[in-house]
């Protein structure tokens, strides 16, 4: 069989053109060689998925631009690049001509579904490429559902509160805007249309009341209202029932699991904040000028925690079955309260950071947490947690361990209190600190030594320079 026959079969749209039989028939009529065989095999594999092969059938003709097997191979590969890029560019959108399907993007490796929290747009609104249309709330973070292309939202397929999985269709976008009901721009139109329709409704009301005799069959709604998980409480005035967010449910589950798993014990101490506050006051302007970030108290406590973890490695360890895992790195989690719930982003390799690096990382993570843009990876892991309840005015508390860690440090508010210094009673800014630890792994001796190290470093930051 010659290449002319192959060309004619391509032009006729034959789907089974490149079979092994055809290749065997072609090979004897062409100069023998391994390169030609490879090129033929590539045609066999590639053209099955090539939707516009008949448009390029002239390439196979003897007088066509492809004059050698190598050029034939290169030409087909180059032709396939653009269709393959279009196919793989957006795996989570569907293009049906004028219509684009908006679907839920991949959430995370450990998350299989989420709740459609809210739509950020309305049907009839125009959206651009990658513009956020809706938000998916998962157990850990909130993820945006973005537009796969520019156009006008035709309709919503899913509803707020629905449980959705990656690939679930939530909306339809029209590229041209045809068949779209513009809800947002014509808010006044429905009102005007409703006013003339009102008298018509009054005339038809008696007609509507007559078929209502069929509606007594609808006492079936009460059974669906009953739920096994919902407590059957008598209704009361001035009460409202609001579903828990997925993040709040996740936090509740983890905190209860922590309480049921660990043998938690808390030890306390107090810290004189005079020297650390003086250090901050003396160098705050120079610090901002050089590093572009304010010098806070959290960086001092994190540096102190790093020193304490290095002195007492058992605090940085964790129980895993019948083994103890010692971590030779220090990843410190910081508890951040957001309007949607508690999140715990992680400062990686805190032992290798200076004060400026820590302050910058804290600001970045806190901003992402409050904006709801923090990722799963930024909250995963962590070997120790620092929680600062003092920003809310907490005087004393017993923090709960964040699994799979073994301890957590609680900071509290700074309050002037009378203390004895050199035999004299003076007023000093004091802070209570608390360490909750897993008593199965950590003995009281190590816990007290760790907390004492925190106290020593915070009260005299020069210890960090001298490593004493």
Q: Which of the following is catalytic: 130, 162, 282, 443?
A: 443
Beta strands in 86-229 (DSSP E): 93-96, 99-103, 114-119, 126-127, 132-137, 142-146, 151-156, 163-164, 169-174
Decide: 5 and 46 in contact? Cβ < 8 Å.
no
The catalytic residue among 291, 357, 439, 460 is: 439
338, containing H or E segment:
strand 336-338
Whether 439 is a known active-site residue: answer yes
Contact predicate 9/21, CB 8 Å = no
Burial track 143-157 (b if 16+ CB lie within 10 A, e otherwise)? bebbbbbebbbbebe
Q: Say whether the peptide bond before residue 404 is cis (omega within 30 degrees of 0).
A: yes
Written as six digits, the tokens of 178 are 């045809």
| CA angle centred on 361, ends 375 and 389, rounded to 5° | 90
52 catalytically annotated = no
- Return the closest-CA partner of residue 141 out of 105, 93, 108: 108
User: Measuring CA to CA, which residue among 335, 337, 392, 348 is closest to residue 370?
Assistant: 337
Place of tokens 């999985």: 165
Structure tokens at 188: 């006044």
Question: What DSSP string runs through 114-136?
Answer: EEEEEESS-TT-EE-TT-EEEEE
**Which residues are marked as active site?**
439, 443
């Amino acid at each position: 069989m010659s290449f002319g026959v192959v060309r004619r079969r391509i032009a006729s749209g034959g789907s089974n053109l490149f079979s092994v039989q055809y290749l065997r028939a072609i090979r004897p009529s062409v100069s023998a060689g391994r390169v030609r065989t490879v090129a033929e095999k590539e045609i066999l594999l590639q053209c099955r998925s090539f939707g516009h092969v008949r448009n390029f059938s002239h390439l196979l003709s003897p007088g066509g631009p492809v004059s050698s097997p190598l050029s034939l191979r290169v030409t087909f590969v180059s032709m396939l690049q653009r269709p393959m890029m279009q196919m793989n560019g957006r795996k989570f959108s569907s293009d049906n001509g004028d219509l684009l399907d908006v679907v839920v993007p991949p959430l995370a490796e450990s998350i299989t579904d989420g709740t459609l929290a809210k739509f950020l747009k309305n049907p009839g609104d125009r959206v651009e490429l990658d513009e956020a249309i809706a938000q998916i709330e998962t157990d850990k973070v909130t993820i945006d559902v973005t537009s796969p292309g520019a156009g006008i939202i035709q309709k919503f397929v899913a509803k707020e509160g629905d449980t959705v999985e990656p690939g679930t269709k939530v909306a339809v976008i029209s590229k041209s805007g045809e068949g779209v009901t513009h809800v947002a721009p014509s808010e006044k139109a429905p009102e005007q249309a409703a006013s003339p329709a009102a008298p018509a409704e009054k005339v038809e009301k008696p007609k509507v009341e007559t078929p209502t005799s069929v509606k007594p069959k609808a006492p079936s709604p009460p059974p669906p209202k009953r739920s096994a998980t919902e407590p059957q409480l008598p209704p009361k005035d001035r009460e409202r029932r609001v579903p828990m967010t997925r993040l709040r449910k996740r936090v509740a589950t983890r905190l209860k699991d922590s309480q049921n798993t660990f043998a938690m014990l808390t030890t306390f101490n107090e810290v004189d904040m005079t020297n650390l506050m003086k250090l901050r006051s003396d160098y705050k302007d120079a610090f901002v000028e050089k590093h572009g970030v304010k010098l806070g108290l959290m960086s001092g406590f994190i540096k102190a925690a790093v020193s304490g973890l290095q002195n007492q490695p058992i605090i940085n360890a964790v129980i895993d079955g019948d083994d103890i895992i010692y971590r030779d790195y220090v990843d410190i989690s910081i508890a951040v309260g957001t309007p949607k719930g508690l999140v715990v982003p992680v400062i990686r390799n805190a032992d290798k950071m200076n004060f400026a690096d820590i302050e910058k990382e804290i600001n970045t993570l806190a901003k992402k947490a409050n904006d709801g843009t923090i990722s799963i990876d930024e909250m995963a892991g962590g070997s120790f947690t620092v929680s600062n309840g003092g920003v809310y005015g907490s005087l004393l508390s017993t923090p709960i361990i964040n699994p799979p860690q073994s301890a957590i440090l609680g900071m509290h508010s700074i309050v002037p209190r009378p203390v004895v210094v050199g035999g004299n009673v003076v007023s000093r800014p004091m802070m209570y600190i608390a360490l909750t630890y897993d008593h199965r792994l950590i003995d009281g001796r190590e816990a007290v030594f760790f907390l004492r190290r925190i106290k020593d470093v915070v009260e005299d930051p020069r210890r960090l320079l001298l490593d004493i």
